[in-house]
Chains A and B, each alone.
Chain A
């Protein structure tokens, strides 16, 4: 597609359930990033993938969070045993490479609400 696609756009779940969020980056982009935007907290880095290199998971807030990227394209962020504090907008971005000079292209995000 022309842009970064995220699905679902909205997800409501019950505390304790697992959720999967999907990101489809721009075709050919080797770098993919996940961020979280919480109410009142601003944006924070979660994880990033660059090509076939091991992902940088240093921003994941707990071991309930994991992400994978299959075939160097689509990525899935999984949150296990969701908690209310996980409620946030989860944003995905991609760029042509992981160089600091590359422009980032953001998806429109997944609004996650944990009841």
Chain B
């Protein structure tokens, strides 16, 4: 079993739909990153979380440390949101050593 599990692996939505991507982890962490990777490879850091909730535009990320679970929500989805979303956790004492989930491929149709 991977230390970081994402679900779903693939997600297809219609423009305007509310989207949720889940991330569960089995190790103690000091922080969790949500990353976005567009076709062509570029990776962008969306959020870093250690507790609670963060919001940026149409994106919302939450984390529950006790349940070892994080979610990324996209409101009013748009075709430009189509990308791979990757959850990555930072171990308690190894700040540079990320353990990555396998990614969720999101496709938003117009």
A-to-B contact residues, CB < 8 Å: 31, 33, 35, 42-45, 48, 50, 56, 58-59, 89, 91, 93, 98-106, 108-109
A42 adjacent to B103 (CB under 8 Å): yes
Contacts between chains A and B (CB distance < 8 A), count: 59
A35 adjacent to B45 (CB under 8 Å): no
Q: Does B110 sit within 8 A of A, measured CB to CB?
A: no
Q: Does B97 sit within 8 A of A, measured CB to CB?
A: yes
Q: Does B71 sit within 8 A of A, measured CB to CB?
A: no
Query: Which chain A residue has the least Cβ–Cβ distance from B90?
Result: A100
Q: Does B76 sit within 8 A of A, measured CB to CB?
A: no
Tell me how many residues of B have a C-beta within 8 Å of chain A: 24
Complex CA gap A50/B102 in Å reads 26
Q: Is the interface of A mostly helix, strand, loop or mixed?
A: strand
B86 adjacent to A43 (CB under 8 Å): yes
Q: Does B44 sit within 8 A of A, measured CB to CB?
A: yes
Residue of A31, A100, A108 near B31 (CB, 8 A) is: A100
